[in-house]
Each structure stands twice: as structure tokens, then as C-alpha cells.
Amino acid sequence: MALAAARRLLLHAGSRLGRREAVDGARRFANKRVLVETEGPAGVAVMKLRNPPVNSLSLECLTEFTISLEKLENDKSIRGVILTSECPGIFSAGLDLLEMYGRNPAHYAEYWKNVQELWLRLYTSNMILVSAINGASPAGGCLLALCCDYRVMADNPKYTIGLNESLLGIVAPFWFKDMYVNTIGHREAERALQLGTLFPPAEALKVGVVDELVPEDKVHSKARSVMAKWLAIPDHSRQLTKNMMRKATADNLIKQREADIQNFTSFISKDSIQKSLHMYLEKLKQKKG
Ligand SMILES: CC/C=C\CC(=O)SCCNC(=O)CCNC(=O)[C@H](O)C(C)(C)COP(=O)(O)OP(=O)(O)OC[C@H]1O[C@@H](n2cnc3c(N)ncnc32)[C@H](O)[C@@H]1OP(=O)(O)O
């Protein structure tokens, strides 16, 4: 309830801000955790996640992300979005583990509903989405990138990308899996999901998790030049083609959203799963020394 009210407020405030900025010619709007700039080539917005330290997808971050996308979808002048990060060295650490650990079932259900919402909006967006992956991109971070039409990644061996859920003792839901299969094929997806593989850039390129590697300082310029190529295609034919390719995967979740929320909630509430998450969070802490 409270979140729905916050969402309405943000949308309202955002649209007022958007109008003022259009008058000023400064094409930019921001929530606390997502910055959207529309300077540069006409019709293109750059969306930057800025939820330090690691751009984890907290409930607030997911909500702001979804609202920003909704605003861009409603702005008929925007045809493409470059998705990137403002946090140095991190694209996104994925879903916020603290939203899935030590909370109550109602919270897990609310959180998961918002994860579904963002995924459906991103995956089925009519806009051209290009990700400029400028840092580590595990699990939900990889999910964001996989929703895009093209993925450019910084060629820095310190960065990895992949759906690593099984390393945490949790299981990627069927719609994460479906999108992985759509992107890298059944055999590679099966192996990578079971092993929870986090691919360094060269391997991510080889297996098809990303489309192109470039030196770190070229990620944004490359994303822009890729965008220019995609913008040259007529919107209606590109959009219908995208829809044809993605609809079945999205519909598969749409027809069982409630059951998927129930599944997630009962799975994540299990003592054994909470124990696994606790151990993983401890491991993250210990890593620091
Ligand atoms: C059912 C399907 C569900 C889930 C899908 C998911 O997305 S689950 C999330 C999976 N994500 C991960 O496994 C990533 C875990 N994080 C990391 O590997 C590293 O943090 C990362 C992203 C490589 C960055 O490393 P770095 O050394 O730069 O930072 P550090 O590890 O010290 O982390 C800083 C603080 O952030 C906390 N944190 C990291 N990831 C998350 C996260 N996903 N959710 C919540 N919090 C996260 C980390 O614990 C540190 O916290 P601190 O209090 O400062 O100790």
C-alpha cells in the first residue's frame, strides 16, 4: 500500500520535473537511485543505476527503476535506452540479499512482485535497450543485461557476469532460466545455471552472454554507436520482431505470476534457504578481511 502511494508520488513529481526540464532544455530526471539523462543523440536516454556501494536491487531501487522506465516508455520522443551504472566497477550486484533474508513472507511476496514487474517491463520494452556493462554483473545484474537487445561489456578480467544463484544455495526461477536459454542456448544455460558460472569477459563473449567487449573507457561510446545502428531500423518492424521473439517467454510468467510469487515466498522462507543466504552474506563480509 505504502509503496503504491510512493510510486504515485514519484510518478507525479517526476512528470512535473520532466516538464520543467523540457522547458529549460536540460533533458534529465532523477530519482535517488536511478539517473536518466537524455542528452546526446536524439531519441536516446542513458539510464544510470546509482545505488552504492554495489547497485543491489533493493525494493526502493526496483521501484525507482520501474518508474523511470515507465516514464521513458510514455515519452514518445525516446526510442532507445542505454543502461549502465554510476558505481565504479559494479554494473549491479543483483537482487538485494537483505530483501530476501530475515524478513517475513509478506515482504518476500511484495519484493518478488516488484522483481517480476521490472523484468516484464524491461524484457518486453518497445524501446531499444543496450547495456553498457561497466562492472561486475552477477545474478540479477546479469538479468538486467540479458533483458537488453545488445550487451557491450568492459574487457576487464576483474568483472564477471552470469546467473550464479546456485552458488548461493538458491535457484534461478524459470523465467531467468528461459531468458538464459533464449540467449546462450539450452546446453550452455544448463551447465552455467547448475554451476552458477560467473564468466569473465572473454568467456562471456564466447558463450554469448555478451555481444561485444571493448576497453573500459570505450564502453559508453561503443554503446552509443551500437544504438545508432539499431535506431536506423524502422521502429514498427523492429518492435514487431522483438515482440515475436520474446512474447512467449514473457507470457509464460504473466500466466502464472501469482503462483510464481507463492513459490518464491515459500522457497525463500525455508530455514535451510535462509541458512544458505546467511552463510553467503557472512562470506561476503569475511572477504573484506
Ligand atoms: C531466487 C533468485 C534470486 C536471486 C537472484 C540474485 O540476484 S541474488 C544476488 C546475487 N548477487 C551476488 O551473488 C553478488 C554478491 N556480491 C558480490 O559478489 C560482490 O559484492 C561484488 C558485487 C562483486 C562487489 O564486490 P566488492 O568487493 O566491490 O564489494 P563487497 O563485496 O565488499 O560488497 C560491499 C557491500 O555490499 C554488500 N552486498 C554485495 N552484494 C550484495 C547484494 N546482492 N545484496 C545486498 N548486499 C550486497 C556486501 O555484503 C557489502 O556489505 P557490507 O555491509 O559493506 O559488508
* Digit-coded pLDDT (tens) for 134-156: 999 999 999 999 999 999 999 99
Please tell me the predicted confidence (pLDDT) of residue 7: 55
Spell out the residues 6+ positions from residue 179 whose beta carbon is closer than 8 angstroms to its own: 123, 143, 146, 147, 249
Mean pLDDT taken over the chain? 92
Reported as a single tens digit per residue, the pLDDT across 27-45 is 678 889 999 998 766 899 9
Does residue 79 carry a pLDDT above 90? yes
Residue 82 grid cell: 542505454
Q: What is the mean pLDDT of residues 267-278?
A: 98
Residue 222: which H helix or E strand, with range? helix 219-231
Spell out the residues 6+ positions from residue 110 whose beta carbon is closer than 8 angstroms to its own: 3, 59
Residue 237: which H helix or E strand, with range? helix 235-254
Maximum CA pair distance of the chain? 55
Closest CA to 3 of 111, 115, 122, 98: 111
Q: What is the mean pLDDT of residues 162-170?
A: 97
Using 50, 70 and 90 to split pLDDT, how confident is the model at 22? very low
Contact residues of ligand 1, CB 6 A cut-off: 53-54, 56, 90, 93-98, 136, 138-140, 164-165, 168, 170, 172-173, 284-285, 287-288
Does residue 244 carry a pLDDT above 90? yes
Given a contact cutoff of 8 angstroms between Cβ atoms, the answer to whether 70 and 58 are in contact is no
Find the 12 Cα to ligand 1 centroid distance in Å.
Answer: 32
Please report the ipTM that was assigned to this predicted complex.
Answer: 0.99
Closest CA to 48 of 90, 102, 86: 86
Given a contact cutoff of 8 angstroms between Cβ atoms, the answer to whether 50 and 85 are in contact is yes
Does residue 200 carry a pLDDT above 60? yes
Does residue 4 carry a pLDDT above 90? no
